[in-house]
């Protein structure tokens, strides 16, 4: 606490005035009138001012902790911006230029032209007029009877406080590391990409730049899905997979950027400009694998990520687009047998109606015929082990056809094959046990 107190004392007078003061009564009344259409009482104004002071005190205390962590003797703007990000507080502070003027080199001679007394007086009078106008704008009197537009003209200092902050929150070293990682992951050098992905997988210093990395991945996936850039989507999903595997990082606050991006790769209509020549099925399966890893890491109780992802996949199963059905089917298959039983099996009949024309057509499109066969194969593989426990052994082929439509016959054969394999395994195990007992 003594260290934090000393750090707070190091803040200059201007920062103390800005960060520990509250808005004036006139500004609070103007904000309330513009926002809710009513004025505030004296007690409400005092309560709002106390809340603002409490939030600002938390920000300054957090900035002092970060300054101590970085072994800095003073609290800087970077420390305050880091505190805002850590506390998830949007105060919209100080949109001003913090760059200091370049210091004048003392050892470099400066040649000055001769200055006349008349020019000094002229500049002095001009400067005094400017300062007078600035003072009048800064301490502009408040008229309660003025119209609403006039009352919105707050004090100059308070208008600065309410402007948004556009400053990049990373240090120069972190910005350079961010550029190196993103350029290496998306570049043409495979060795540089491996090193960058290894850094994403193991480096513990990436936490401050996680928001920037997540935003970069989100925007890049959006652009490359629109442009149908097949290869770059793979690189972006490899970045996500390595970030998820890093035990030192916490991605909770950035899942709203990553989850929609991965889902768009899995269920979008088309991922590449030449689908007949490029295997976009592998990209969709990779996207669902990364999504399954994300859910295993962050889909805990009280988090609605799992339910939302399943809802998107269920909607995709009802689509008439084969690629969307394939991505949704693979995604649900990676969620486990309970999800397959509750979400996939009830949709078998509708999927059958979509793929049946492509499988039975006399002169079908070869590419669509291949996708329909893949869907049928995956559907049989993931549902047959579950259907054998749902249906009685007495159910005949007609019962399957009645429930599941065109795929009923194939499902019946797949369930019979599963029963046959189970019985064969049991017989082999019994023979082995009897053989061991006979030897003993």
Mean pLDDT over residues 386-404, rounded? Answer: 82
Q: pLDDT band for position 375 (50/70/90)?
A: very high
Does the 1-97+142-169 domain belong in CATH 1.10.20.10? yes
Q: pLDDT band for position 156 (50/70/90)?
A: low
Q: Is the pLDDT of residue 287 over 80?
A: yes
- Tokens representing 104? 């004048």
Does the 170-335 domain belong in CATH 1.25.40.770? yes
Q: Is the pLDDT of residue 378 over 60?
A: yes
Say what the pLDDT of residue 341 is: 92
Mean pLDDT over residues 271-292, rounded? Answer: 79
Mean pLDDT over residues 89-111, rounded? Answer: 44
pLDDT in tens, 341-350: 999 999 999 9
Mean pLDDT over residues 212-223, rounded? Answer: 90
Say what the pLDDT of residue 128 is: 52
Q: pLDDT band for position 117 (50/70/90)?
A: very low
Mean pLDDT over residues 367-377, rounded? Answer: 90
Q: Is the pLDDT of residue 420 over 60?
A: yes
Say what the pLDDT of residue 170 is: 77
Highest-confidence range of 28-32, 66-70, 418-422, by mean pLDDT?
418-422
Mean pLDDT over residues 358-383, rounded? Answer: 88
Please give the share of the chain, as a percent, with pLDDT higher than 70.
71
Say what the pLDDT of residue 60 is: 83
Distance between CA atoms of residues 432 and 99, nearest Å: 81
Mean pLDDT over residues 232-242, rounded? Answer: 91
Per domain, the residue ranges of the chain are 1-97+142-169, 170-335, 360-440
In the block, tokens 């260290």 appear at 3
Torsion over CA: 200, 201, 207, 211 (sign) = positive
Highest-confidence range of 22-26, 130-134, 138-142, 339-343, by mean pLDDT?
339-343
In the block, tokens 């003594």 appear at 2
Q: Do domains 1-97+142-169 and 170-335 have the same CATH topology?
A: no
Buried-state track 405-423, b at ≥16 Cβ within 10 A, e below 16: bbbbebbbebbeebeeeee
When mean pLDDT is compared across 195-209, 258-272, 329-343, 371-385, the lowest value belongs to: 258-272
- Tokens representing 222? 């959006």
Determine the Cα angle at 104 with ends 102 and 107, to 5°. 140
Say what the pLDDT of residue 274 is: 66
Say what the pLDDT of residue 150 is: 44
Mean pLDDT over residues 337-364, rounded? Answer: 90
248 phi/psi in degrees, rounded to 5: -90, -10
Mean pLDDT over residues 206-210, rounded? Answer: 89
Q: Are 400 and 412 in contact (CB under 8 A)?
A: yes
Which one has a higher pLDDT value, 262 or 99? Answer: 262
Say what the pLDDT of residue 432 is: 78
DSSP string, 393-421: TT--HHHHHHHHGGGHHHHHHHHHHHHHH
Determine the Cα angle at 163 with ends 157 and 167, to 5°. 115
Distance between CA atoms of residues 204 and 247, nearest Å: 8
Q: Is the pLDDT of residue 145 over 70?
A: no
């Amino acid at each position: 606490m003594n260290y934090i107190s000393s750090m707070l004392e190091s803040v200059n007078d201007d920062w103390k005035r800005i960060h520990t003061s509250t808005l004036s009564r006139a500004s609070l009344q103007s904000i309330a009138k513009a926002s809710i259409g009513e004025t505030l009482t004296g007690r409400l104004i005092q309560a709002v001012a106390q809340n603002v002071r409490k939030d600002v005190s938390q920000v300054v205390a957090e900035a002092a902790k970060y300054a101590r962590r970085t072994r800095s003797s003073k609290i800087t703007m970077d420390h305050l911006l880091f505190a805002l990000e850590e506390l998830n507080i949007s105060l919209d502070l100080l949109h001003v230029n913090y760059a200091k003027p370049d210091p004048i080199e003392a050892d470099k001679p400066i040649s000055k032209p001769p200055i006349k007394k008349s020019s000094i007086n002229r500049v002095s009078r001009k400067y005094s007029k400017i300062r007078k106008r600035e003072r009048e704008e800064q301490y502009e009197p408040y008229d309660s009877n003025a119209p609403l537009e006039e009352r919105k003209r707050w004090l100059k200092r308070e208008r600065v406080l309410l402007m948004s902050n556009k400053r990049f929150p990373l240090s120069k070293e972190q910005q350079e590391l961010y550029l190196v990682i993103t350029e290496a992951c998306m570049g043409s050098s495979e060795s540089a990409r491996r090193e960058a992905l290894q850094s994403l997988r193991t480096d513990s210093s990436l936490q401050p730049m996680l928001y920037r990395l997540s935003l970069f991945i989100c925007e890049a996936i959006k652009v490359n899905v629109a442009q149908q850039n097949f290869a770059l989507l793979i690189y972006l999903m490899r970045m996500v997979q390595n970030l998820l595997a890093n035990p030192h990082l916490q991605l909770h606050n950035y899942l709203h950027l990553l989850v929609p991006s991965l889902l768009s790769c899995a269920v979008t209509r088309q991922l590449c400009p030449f689908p007949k020549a490029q295997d976009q099925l592998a990209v969709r399966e990779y996207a669902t694998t990364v999504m399954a890893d994300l859910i295993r890491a962050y889909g805990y109780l009280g988090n609605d990520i799992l339910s939302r992802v399943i809802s998107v996949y269920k909607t995709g199963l009802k689509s008439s687009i084969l690629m969307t059905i394939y991505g949704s089917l693979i995604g649900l298959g990676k969620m486990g047998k309970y999800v397959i039983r509750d979400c996939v099996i009830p949709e078998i009949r509708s999927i059958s109606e979509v793929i049946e024309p492509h499988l039975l057509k006399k002169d079908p499109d070869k590419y669509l015929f291949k996708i329909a066969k893949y869907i049928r194969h995956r559907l049989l593989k993931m549902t047959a082990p579950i259907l054998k426990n749902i249906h009685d052994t007495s159910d005949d082929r007609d019962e399957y056809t009645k429930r599941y439509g065109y795929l009923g016959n194939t499902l019946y054969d797949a369930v019979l094959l599963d029963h046959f394999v189970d019985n064969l395994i049991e017989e082999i195990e019994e023979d082995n046990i009897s053989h061991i007992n006979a030897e003993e």
